[in-house]
């Protein structure tokens, strides 16, 4: 009998305790769902008020989080991170000031009405290289498009990101946003992130980070906007102002110790122009390595052919010292002259550090071919740069390369990201079909909204009614909060009302979705 009791006990179902971190994160998603549902009924004036309040909070915290990010990650330059944080605040809202993603659009000529529909809940990844600026940027995109957003920061930057998200959410709520609009996972882990990416309560994933995590986002079963790695080639033509071109390239490559994926990776020039450009690079603050120094740099930076991640975001002087040689403290970039480019030369890959490979060619056509060869290795669809005065060469260069943005006579780090050109300011650089991404342009709030279209009969005999007096579906911040769900009200049968049975069915459906989402 004792044996049967023991057997029965072993066969009995056991209580399985949910992982506390995963349970907490799922609660965040449920909370964000209610916030998104409420926020989707705000009008544009309310949305812009909240966006401005969030931008101001971001601006005020720019210095604090720049210092925090460098301290926590060990990457980058505080002053440059402050600039990136500030550029991801008010200037970002200013850029989209005239982009209305809230109000219905009436096109009488085509007999069509377009109603914007927000995605809902966004699950966003942020990298260690640009943690807070990316969080700022994605938050403002979500706010402008009336979406809720939950962040999963890189573990190396979880402290600064969690605090920044709290600051922005508090500012949004104070401006009238529903609670839970902006949230952050406290303790991100790979299993947790994978579970949340696959949640049916998430409508879209914004994936910024390493290749494996971006691929995981695409394979999660949820819609995803992902971006690929950069490896921007930069060509300097003989007719360019060599001094100005060198200064722009060095300033760009040194910016935040080159952690932006838009930075110049491989410099290409013509053989006949080598000495002029070398003098200009040295004058701009670059250290041009000797052949022996290049060998040491290659060995330390790419041990076994793989990037040494210790170099990411570190200074040129620190990398030189680790590689076994010294440079003067004023040198901001290491330039490594190479005899060839391609798979056999690891220095022509993405480095995310102030190390600039340099190759020369005997003709413009050959230089263009070298640039395309570099992009075939990595960085397809991303960015390239051109310095010169011949518009035909600029056109030919851009047409030959598998990239979606070519920065001309400007620093590529800032230019491709929209901060030194009129491209959209962005910390998600779409790499399109070339880079196996769903978006080929700089990602903006328009990518987080789809449109429902009312299309009238095209027959001219069928009139489209006057839409000027039709009410838009806005309740605004003064409407009752949708979180937590409210109990059913007495039946209403007047226009715009909802009967008790239908409301009960909707609440039951919502509870069923919540139950499925937590299993």
Q: Across all residues in the chain, what is the average pLDDT?
A: 89
Same domain, 171 and 250: no
Claim to verify: residue 262 and residue 132 sit in the same structural domain: no
Range of the domain at 318: 232-416
List of residues 6+ apart from 310 with CB closer than 8 A: 322
pLDDT band for 484, please (50, 70, 90 cuts): very low
User: How far apart, in Å, are the Cα atoms of 492 and each of 456, 471, 487, 501, 502?
Assistant: 31, 20, 14, 11, 11
Sheet holding 105-107, edge to edge: 105-107, 112-118, 449-455
pLDDT surpasses 80 at 50: yes
Tell whether 186 and 63 lie within a shared domain. yes
**Do 208 and 272 belong together in one domain?**
no
Both 148 and 208 in one domain: the answer is yes
Domain tally for the chain?
A: 2
- Among residues 434, 449, 464, which one ends one of the domains? 449
Listed range (106-120, 215-229, 441-455) with the worst mean pLDDT: 215-229
* Residue with tokens 């600051």, as numbered in its chain: 167
Average pLDDT over residues 455-471: 93
Residues contacting 512, CB < 8 A, separation 6+: none
Mean pLDDT of 237-265: 97
144 and 86 in a single domain? The answer is yes
- Asked whether residue 15 is assigned to any structural domain, the reply reads no
Query: What's the pLDDT score for residue 20?
Result: 78
Does any domain span residue 95?
yes
Q: Do 74 and 201 share a domain, yes or no?
A: yes
Per-residue pLDDT, averaged over 114-135, amounts to 96
Bridge partner residues of 234 (DSSP) = 267, 385
Q: How does residue 478 score in pLDDT terms, banded at 50, 70 and 90?
A: low
Q: Are 201 and 267 in the same domain?
A: no
CATH (domain of 167): 3.40.605.10
φ, ψ at 129 (rounded to 5°): -70, -40
Q: Are residues 214 and 137 in the same domain?
A: yes
More confident position, 8 or 44: 44
115 inside domain: yes
Same domain, 212 and 298: no
Residue with the bigger pLDDT between 49 and 513: it is 49
Q: Which residues are catalytic?
A: 261
d(C-alpha 431, C-alpha 440), whole Å: 5
At 490 the pLDDT is: 40
pLDDT at site 226 = 87
pLDDT reported for residue 49 = 98
pLDDT (mean) for 159-167:
98
Quick check: is 490 in a domain? no
pLDDT of 181-229, one tens digit each? Answer: 999 999 998 889 888 999 999 999 999 866 777 888 888 889 999 888 9
pLDDT attached to residue 358: 98
- Whether 306 maps to a domain, the answer reads yes
Helices (H) and strands (E) in the chain, counts: 18, 15
The average pLDDT across 346-356 equals 97
In this structure, of 33-42, 355-364, 467-476, the range with the lowest mean pLDDT score is 467-476
**Helices of type H across 88-130:** 90-95
| 470: in domain | no
CATH value at residue 278: 3.40.309.10
User: 163 pLDDT exceeds 70?
Assistant: yes
Q: Looking at the structure, tell me whether residues 213 and 250 fall in a common domain.
A: no
Residues 83 and 207 in one domain: yes
């Amino acid at each position: 009998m004792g044996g049967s009791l023991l057997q029965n006990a072993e066969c009995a179902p056991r209580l399985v305790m949910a992982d506390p971190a995963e349970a907490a994160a799922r609660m965040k998603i449920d909370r964000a769902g209610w916030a998104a549902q409420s926020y989707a009924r705000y009008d544009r004036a309310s949305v812009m008020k909240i966006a401005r309040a969030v931008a101001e909070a971001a601006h005020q915290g720019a210095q604090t989080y720049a210092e925090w990010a460098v301290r926590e990650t060990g990457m980058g330059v505080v002053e440059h991170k402050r600039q990136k944080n500030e550029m991801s605040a008010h200037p970002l809202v200013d850029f989209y000031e005239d982009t209305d993603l809230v109000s219905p659009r009436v096109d009488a000529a085509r007999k069509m009405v377009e109603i914007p529909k927000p995605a809902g809940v966004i699950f966003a990844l942020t990298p260690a290289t640009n943690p807070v600026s990316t969080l700022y940027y994605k938050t403002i995109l979500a706010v402008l498009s009336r979406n809720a957003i939950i962040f999963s920061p890189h573990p190396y930057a979880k402290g600064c990101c969690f605090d920044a998200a709290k600051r922005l959410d508090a500012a949004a709520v104070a401006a009238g946003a529903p609670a839970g609009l902006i949230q952050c996972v406290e303790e991100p882990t790979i299993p947790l992130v994978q579970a949340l990416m696959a949640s049916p309560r998430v409508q879209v994933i914004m994936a910024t980070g390493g290749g494996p995590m971006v691929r995981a986002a695409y394979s999660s079963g949820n819609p995803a906007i992902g971006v690929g790695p950069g490896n921007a080639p930069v060509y300097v033509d003989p007719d360019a102002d060599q001094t100005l071109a060198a200064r722009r390239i060095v300033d760009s490559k040194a910016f935040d110790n080159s952690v932006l994926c838009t930075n110049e990776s491989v410099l290409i020039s013509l053989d006949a122009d080598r000495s002029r450009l070398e003098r200009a690079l040295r004058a701009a603050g670059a250290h041009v390595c000797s052949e022996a120094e290049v060998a040491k740099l290659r060995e330390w930076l790419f041990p076994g052919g793989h990037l040494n991640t210790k170099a990411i975001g570190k200074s040129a002087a620190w990398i030189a010292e680790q590689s076994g040689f010294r440079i003067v403290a004023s040198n901001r970039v290491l330039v490594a002259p190479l005899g060839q480019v391609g798979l056999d030369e690891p220095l022509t890959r993405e480095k995310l550090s102030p190390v600039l490979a340099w190759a020369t060619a005997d003709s413009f056509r050959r230089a263009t071919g070298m640039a395309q060869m570099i992009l075939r290795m990595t960085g397809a669809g991303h960015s390239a740069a051109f310095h010169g005065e011949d518009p035909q060469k600029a056109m030919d260069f851009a047409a030959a390369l598998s990239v979606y943005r070519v920065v001309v006579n400007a620093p590529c780090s800032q230019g491709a990201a929209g901060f030194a050109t009129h491209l959209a300011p962005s910390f998600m650089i779409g790499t399109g079909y070339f880079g196996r991404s769903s978006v080929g342009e700089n990602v903006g709030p328009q990518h987080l909204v789809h449109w429902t279209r009312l299309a009238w009969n095209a027959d001219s005999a069928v009139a489209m009614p006057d839409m000027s007096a039709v009410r838009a579906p806005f309740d605004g911040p003064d409407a009752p909060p949708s979180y937590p769900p409210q109990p059913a009200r007495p039946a209403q049968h007047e226009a715009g009302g909802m009967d008790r049975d239908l409301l009960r069915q909707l609440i039951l459906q919502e509870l069923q979705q919540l139950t499925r989402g937590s299993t």
